[in-house]
Each structure stands twice: as C-alpha cells, then as structure tokens.
Amino acid sequence: MRGLSAKECIGGFRRVCRTILIGPSSAICFWFFVFLGAAFAQPQPTSGDVWSQATLSGDWGGVRTDLERRGITFSLSYTVELLSNLRGGIRQGSVANDLFQPQVDVDAEKLWGWQGAKFRGSGIVTHGPGITPGFVGNLMTVSNIEAGPVGRVFELWYAQSFFNDRWTTRIGLMRGEDFMSSDTASSAFMNNTFGWNTLFGTALPGGGPDFPLSAPGAQVRVKPATDVYLQAAVFSGDPSGGDGSNRGGVLPTGTVFSFSGGAFFIGEMAYTPNQEKDAKGLPGAYKLGAWYHTSSRFGDQRFDTFGLSLADPLSSEPREHAGNFGIYGVVDQMFYRVPGTEDQGLSGFMRVTGSPADRNLVNFYLDAGLVYTGLIPGRPADKLGLGVAYARIGDHARNLDRDTAFFTASPYPTRSAEALIEATYRAKLAPWWIVQGDVQYVVRPSGGVLNDDGSARKNAWVVGLRSAVSF
C-alpha cells in the first residue's frame, strides 16, 4: 500500500475547497466549517449553558420536558458531510451529503395508560449525489447517509411488550437493523457496510429493508433468560416496490409501502452476557442467524435461461432462481474497561456471512474491527476506530468474466474481491454535536473491474469530515 504524496494531499484539499466555494452545497459546507471552528474555540462545557444541554434547541421553554413526561419525545437531527476521492476509483472529486431526520416516539403507557405499547414515526430527507457510484465505483457504500435526493416516511410502527419485556412484538414500516448487528461497529464507522453489510445490500431486492429504504414487516423477540434472546422477522420482499429481482435498478425517491417481490424471513439467536450495569464481567454479544427470501426472480450470475453464458452474443435473459438464503455469525466483545466507567475502553467485533454463488454477486463477507472509547483524557465519549471488511465475488460472476475474455478474444479482468480499511475518529463536542474525521482505503473497487474508458479501476483513497447535530 503506497502512501499519499504531498502533492496528492494538497490536490485533495483543493478539491474540497472548490466544493465549498463553488459547489451546489456551498451554503451547507460554509456553515459546517463555521460551526467547526466555533466548537474548538469554545471553553469546556459548564452546567447550564448551551454546551451542556441535551439538544441544541434546548427545552423549548419547558414544553419538551412536559411532553416527555406525558410520553411524547421529539427528535430532530441533521448530519452533513464532505467526502473526497483523492486517488483511484473512477475519478477524483468531492461531494457533500446531508441527512435531516425528524422522529417522534410515543410511550403509550405514559400517555394513555396502555401498558407496554410504543409507537414511532420518522422521516428522512437527503441531498447529495453520493461519492460511491460516480467517483469510487465500489460495492461497500462509502457513507451510511448516502442516498441521493430522497424524501420519505422512513419508520411507522407499533411495538408491544409483555411479561416485563420478555416478549416484544413490532409491526409496521420498519428496518432490519436489529439483525446481524454489532453495536461496536455501528457506533463508530461511516462506511455503510459496518451496519447493513454489503452481502445483504447486493443479494436482496432493493438492497433489503434498511437505509435508505424500509419495508412493511413484523418482528418478534423472546428473552427466555436475561442474557439470551431469540428473534425473528418477516418483511415485504422488495422495499423498492419492484418485482423481487436482484438485478438492480433505480430506487424510488419518495415513500414506498411495498408488498411486492415475495417475502424476506430472517431469524437470530443471541447470547449477551454482562449487559447489566452492575455486571462484574465485560459485556459481549454472540449471535447466529439465517435468512430466506421467497422471490423467484434471483438472476444467475453466469448463465441464461438456456444454459448459455451471459457473455455469449447468442445469450438471452439471465436464468432465474427461486429463493435465496444465507447464514451469519457475529461476535461483539469488550476487551478492556477503564476502572470506574461503564463504557470507556477497548471493544472489538467480527461478522461473517455466506450465500450461494450462483445467484449472488457477493457470496462471502467478513468484517472486523476495534474501537476505543475515551482514549484521550477529558474526552470520555470520543471514539477511535479501525475496521476492515472483505467481500468475495462469487464463482459464477468470476467465471462470467473469464467467458467475456473468451468471447471478446481480448484481455478482460477477472473479479476477485473488494476489501476496505477504515480509520475514524468521532469526537463528541457537546451532548448534541458530533464531529467525525474519516479515512477509507478501498482495495479493488467492485472486485477489480474496468472503467468506462477501458482503464483499470485502481485502489481508492477517500477522506471525509462529518458533523451531526441533534436539535
């Protein structure tokens, strides 16, 4: 891995500056840096000032506290980021993305005396072209708020718990974030694969039920013991409103209540020791899960309906497979805790999953990483993280590349795998404000392919800066 030269670093800085000064998101970027400079100019937060309150807009003259006492909680968050591809990928350049997310949570027990009942409604509004498709050309989406211009209702669900939360059900428009999840990974990294992993995103129609699309579904979680749970869910098969195909397409920009494309079933069992506040041991989570999708339109990665290679000029549409499935495992463990604290210290994670190679572009995925919380004295909530991810291209897709080389009688690369290294620092400047710096190195974007001009898509360096404010 060759380091960046001074000339390349300066060039990247200049591209970010051009984005700020003349880009379409110039106003957002300008205020981003104004707020950043103001934050570091502020003294340490003291009790009673704006820097110590939970949200930037405060208590709304007591209205917010009164509503929460009655069971109604409003959340308003705004995230803006600058991302620059300094080298490699499709082309160099910078983009600005933003995400506005309003949310209301209702505790029906406080509001109406309806024991164990909760409601949630939320929306998302995003802007920005996204750096992944136009600049880097990789499979592991660079940013977990990257969605293009979108405005939609995101979550709208009702949950009911029974027997002191031993049994919980949820139904409505929701996402699959509870499955194959790692709290350590999702709390620190910017690349989307450390949340909703890339195998899920490429295998499932519409990318599956997670950002930027949710889906109608129902979920059940049972806790037979304090440190054990079993959960299962079923979602509408294609959250994009499509026909259940995994061959991609343009995602909708508005609200979708889709009941098309079959059904997506997923189940998980987990052992979660030492999660209580007074636990003497270090907390961990160990999970095993499996999923199945009922759609009959999973396209083969190599052959057409007559058994010909898709690279053959005489081939037709891809052969369609009925159903898709996979298994996964997760390890999430704290290794060291600073004495006298609850969450400061070193934690690590590893996730692995696999699926059939004939109908999936990525048939094996692995990620792992370390996160240290509170490394710098006086900054107990800051997070320093290093994560790696690996997405293997399936044998059918690899053999299609070899077929393409044969039928075109010209050199053509055979895809192998895409890998990612991400280093990040997430600084909590106030209870309502987080600023994050991020560096990502993408190895073999999309597994090793050619760009449209015939050049090899080289390894890419991406840098980012993010600001998230809770109002």
CATH superfamily of 98-128+147-457: Carbohydrate-selective porin OprB (2.40.160.180)
- 470 phi-psi bin (left φ>0, alpha ψ -120 to 50, beta other): beta
Phi and psi at 41, nearest 5°, equal -85, -10
Cα 52 to chain centroid, rounded: 29
Give the residue among 466, 465, 467, 459 at the shortest CA–CA distance from 86.
459
What is the C-alpha radius of gyration for the chain, rounded to an integer number of angstroms? 23
Query: pLDDT by residue for the chain (471 residues), tens digit each?
Result: 444 454 444 444 344 444 433 333 343 444 344 444 444 444 445 456 889 899 999 999 999 999 999 999 999 999 999 999 999 999 999 999 999 999 999 999 999 999 999 999 999 999 999 999 999 999 999 999 999 899 999 999 999 999 999 999 999 999 999 999 999 999 999 999 999 999 999 999 999 999 999 999 999 999 999 999 999 999 999 999 999 999 877 889 899 898 999 999 999 999 999 998 888 899 999 999 999 999 999 999 999 999 999 999 999 999 999 999 999 999 999 999 999 998 999 999 999 999 999 999 999 999 999 999 999 999 999 999 999 999 999 999 999 999 999 999 999 999 999 999 999 999 999 999 999 999 999 999 999 999 999 999 999 999 999 999 999
Sign of CA pseudo-dihedral 6, 11, 17, 21: positive
pTM: 0.89
Give the residue among 306, 303, 296 at the shortest CA–CA distance from 318.
303
8 A C-beta contact, residue 297 and residue 243: yes
Domain boundaries, the chain: 98-128+147-457
